[in-house]
Amino acid sequence: MTSALLVTVIGLALAMAYMNGFHDASNAVSTTITTRTLRESTALRMAAVLNVLGGFLGMAIIAVTAPWALRLLGLGQLAQEVADTPDLLGMALVAMMLTTILWDLLTWYFGMPSSTWHAFIGATLGVSLVVGAAANWSELGVLLLVSVVGPVLSAGLAYLLMQLILSLGRNEWLKRGHLRFAQTVSAGAVATGHGINDSRLPLAVVVIAFTTISAPEGSTTAVMAAVALAIGAGTLVGGHRIIRTLGRNLTDLSVAQGLAAETSSATTMSLSLFGLDAPVSTSHSLASSVVGAGVGRGLRTVRWRVAGQILLVWLVTPLATALLGAALIGVLQELPTG
């Protein structure tokens, strides 16, 4: 891979990490901001710091190797097919990341929580087909399974937690101050889990790019630090459009609902991270949890039109990004090289 192409891949990986933090800041802070448990600036600063911490923790508990990166992103077959043309691998990675960034920007503009992981894997499918590599259908199958089971589990758990919180409140075992403190802790858990989960995506891309060159010693460690800091920087800015959708437009959140939703989301992410070893969408997890917590207070508390719009975006994401990824790699292949 040429030096210019490698620099482009690394730059886009950091841009994707920044965009991920910006787009998904809502996952950790939307409920605490809406319920006024924390001021917006405080919530964003807390989420940014914990996203960085989560990024470092996530990288510390895994063996950062090329086989790990290829398996995580489902790019093993594509890497084999283009082994003799490292520049084509670089262009494929560029197309995938551009697609992911553009999709995150589009969904942010419309205030729709969506999955960066699903966007990237959809782009992977489209790019693989265009370059003539066999698509990793088993990886897609796992993604679809987690996509269905994860939100259902999150919503169900949030509903049960909401019932428990309401019961404790009726018996005066829980005061509002207790709920606010617990919600702050649960928001921190979601932010940390997001950092652990989503830092792996840009890091894995760079590790794969490094397989085509003799990377200097310590370069992977430097990229690890840069990815974690980029996610934190993006979180600090905050995706306010999506924060409004989750915190106000989907349902009128109470402190109890926010606590139930965040606790459910953090639990689901933990199961997926340490049990399934599969990419889990924090956006899917929290949005589903918000709905489940809302249903816990009554079906009418959820604005089902907004919920339906979010679900439609989730369903469209893999197909739309596959088409966009295919188009981008087609354009990149036609560009002059050298």
Q: Which residue has the higher pLDDT, 148 or 322?
A: 322
Residue 168: CB atoms within 10 Å: 15
Range of lowest pLDDT (63-77, 130-144, 216-230, 317-331)? 130-144
Question: In angstroms, what CA-CA distances link 162 with 15, 155, 261, 264, 289?
Answer: 37, 10, 8, 10, 10
- Note the pLDDT of residue 136: 63
Query: What percentage of the chain reaches a pLDDT higher than 70?
Result: 87
pLDDT digits (tens, 9 = 90+) for 255-280: 888 888 888 888 887 765 655 556 66
Q: Is the pLDDT of residue 143 over 80?
A: no
Rounded Cα distance, 141 and 30, in Å: 31
Mean pLDDT for 106-123 is 89
pLDDT digits (tens, 9 = 90+) for 41-68: 888 888 889 889 988 887 777 777 888 8
Predicted structure pTM score: 0.88
Mean pLDDT of the chain: 83
- Note the pLDDT of residue 279: 63
